[in-house]
Amino acid sequence: MSLKKQFIKTKPVVKVTFSIDAKDASSAAVVGDFNNWNVEEGTLSKLKNGTFKATYDLVKDAIYEFKYVIDGSYINDPEADSYKWNDFAGSENSVLVV
């Protein structure tokens, strides 16, 4: 799993690439504050090497909670900037600071 942040000097956005290695998975998505936790809006594309990946433009100077959804299971990113407890889900969410 990895997060890549590309800051755009001329715009108030950051290009964030979410990627997760899930060779045996049939589907993967990233859900979070930036897409209303909507699996359809967070669909990741599967590459030939088994990695799922997508890039999103996120508003700069913000903090987002997110998780990956791999074949229906919610997974945190071990490379997240931090983690935050979520009472609604009863678990921690990954945190992304841009």
Q: Which of 89, 79, 78, 73 is nearest to 33 (CA)?
A: 89
Q: What is the mean pLDDT of residues 28-39?
A: 96
DSSP-derived secondary structure letter, 47: P
Q: Which residue segment(s) compose the domain that 62 sits in?
A: 2-97
- pLDDT tens digits, residue range 66-84? 999 999 999 999 999 999 9
Q: What is the pTM of this model?
A: 0.92
Domain holding 23: CATH number? 2.60.40.10
Total number of domains in the chain: 1
35: helix, coil or strand? Answer: helix
- pLDDT tens digits, residue range 41-69? 999 999 999 999 999 999 999 999 999 99
Answer yes or no: is pLDDT of 1 > 80. Answer: no
